[in-house]
Chain A
Amino acid sequence: MRTLGQFVAVLRKDLTIEFRSRDILYPMALFSFLLVVVFSFAFLSDPAKARDYGPGIVWVTVLFSSTVGLNRLFDRERENGCLWALLLGPVPAGAVFAAKVVGHLLFTGLMEALTLPLVLLFFDLPVVDVPAFLAAVALGTVGVSLVGTLFSAMLMNARMKEVLLPLVTYPVLVPVVIAGVKVTALAVGAPLAEEPGPWLRFLAGFDMVFGVVTLLLFERMVRT
């Protein structure tokens, strides 16, 4: 119960700072919007082919834009050694990590709520299977947040962290992109002989396994 209270306290602190400064949400949303605009010029507008590349654009946008947020996620904690102060207190590292993950998840979710409708609009993708699409985005974003937050925290003080973070996280997140693209393609009615169910279970499994792995590793790595 106490841990839950500490989790809420850290999360509330982050949300309060964010909604006063908007220095994660604003760059992330703007970047994702620009990304979608650039993508719409990068492909020849052939409505018949939109189904082929639309799902990919959805997931590249999610991945790239969430990286922008991840790069900034621990900036506030770096100044004056705030993270170490936070961890020196009688707070389990797991609670801090969970709060950071949920924070990033909320910011990314807001960004997606703004940007993904634009992708569907610009590329004229009719979502046939709305629950599957939403489930894929939600589960995929959880995976991105878990892996991304772990390495964002670890690389907080590293030189060139903006470059290192995608280098490290993208190979690990390849399965999320694969599953996400598949479910999204199915959700917009791509003629594939598959069901979204197994892919969604795959994403849920990824989230569960990496939820445990990243939580344990965070605790270990910050104390190493």
Chain B
Amino acid sequence: MRTGWFEDVKNPVAGLAVAAAVAVVAALVAVFFVAPREATLGISQKIFYFHVASAIHMMVLFALCGLCGLAYLGMRGRPGRWTAVVDGLGVAAAEVGVVLGAVVLVTGPLWARKAWGTWWTWEPRLTLSLMVFLLFLAYLALRAFAGSDRFGRGVASGLAVVGLPALYFIHFAVERWGGAHPQVVFKGGLQNPDMQVAFYASLLAMSLVSATLVVLRLRIERLKGRLDALYLALDRRSPGA
């Protein structure tokens, strides 16, 4: 059987992983040794670099998951290589997204406790992150319990697609609901150039880490598909065995 890049088990994902590792070390150096200590918040401000990078990537992965769902339904789930790629990418994005969402929801309150004096407020962006996290969890619950056949995949894809407009409405509602919140802290952006270096370094590191995880997860999904196909072929060759 001829295998393409996608099926190949010895796919050079190692290069991506090494790049991610280097970027993470570089980002840590930039965050802790290049960027200055923030005047009022002190060392606790450094959590911002990880928090925001995770949040941005969580949103990107959610959008990716939604687009994959749309593409999957667009292809009507017909068995084929691209359907498998799109479907696997959707799961991979959702699973990595849940991990990043957990990072966001743990680092956020830690920072908020220091900066705002409270662990949790129903601030629009906080609430939106929580809802993205919940939608991701529902998507994975569907994948886990509604069956991994075409039917289960279709339902999960449908949820991912519905999630996109839903998030828009959630964001809008929460923003109006909370009224005017004065604590939008980083509205003015980062003024200090060293802080900007640290921020972009952690953004890049998070991109590479997310990409590595998504690619690895995608390959697991693909190998699963191949294993299933092999079992089927085995069954066909030796019936009753």
Write the residues of chain A forming the contact surface with B, with a CB cutoff of 8 angstroms. 147, 150-151, 154-155, 157-160, 163-164, 167-168, 171-172, 174-175, 178-179, 182, 198-199, 202, 205-206, 209-210, 213-214, 217, 220-221, 223-224
Contact = CB atoms under 8 A, between A and B. Distances in A.
A214 B73 CA distance: 13
A217 B160 CA distance: 11
Contacts of B154: 154, 221, 224
Given A159-B145, A160-B145, A221-B73, A172 B173 contact: no
B13 interface: no
Q: By CB atoms of chain B within 10 A, which of A154, A163, A209 has the most?
A: A154
Q: Is the contact region of chain A dominated by helix, strand, or loop, or is it mixed?
A: helix
A210 B173 contact: no
Given A164-B141, A224-B150, A213 B162 contact: yes
B26 interface: no
**Closest 5 pairs between A and B when the two form their complex, measured CB to CB:** A224-B154, A175-B169, A224-B77, A175-B173, A158-B146
Contacts of A198: 176
Contacts, number: 96
A124 to B, nearest CB: 25
Interface of B: 72-74, 76-77, 131, 134-135, 137-138, 141-142, 145-147, 150-152, 154-155, 157-159, 161-163, 165-166, 169-170, 172-174, 176-177
A192 B163 CA distance: 30
User: Looking at chain B's contact residues, is the secondary structure mostly helix, strand, loop, or mixed?
Assistant: helix
B172 A164 contact: no
Given A174-B131, A221-B154, A151 B159 contact: yes
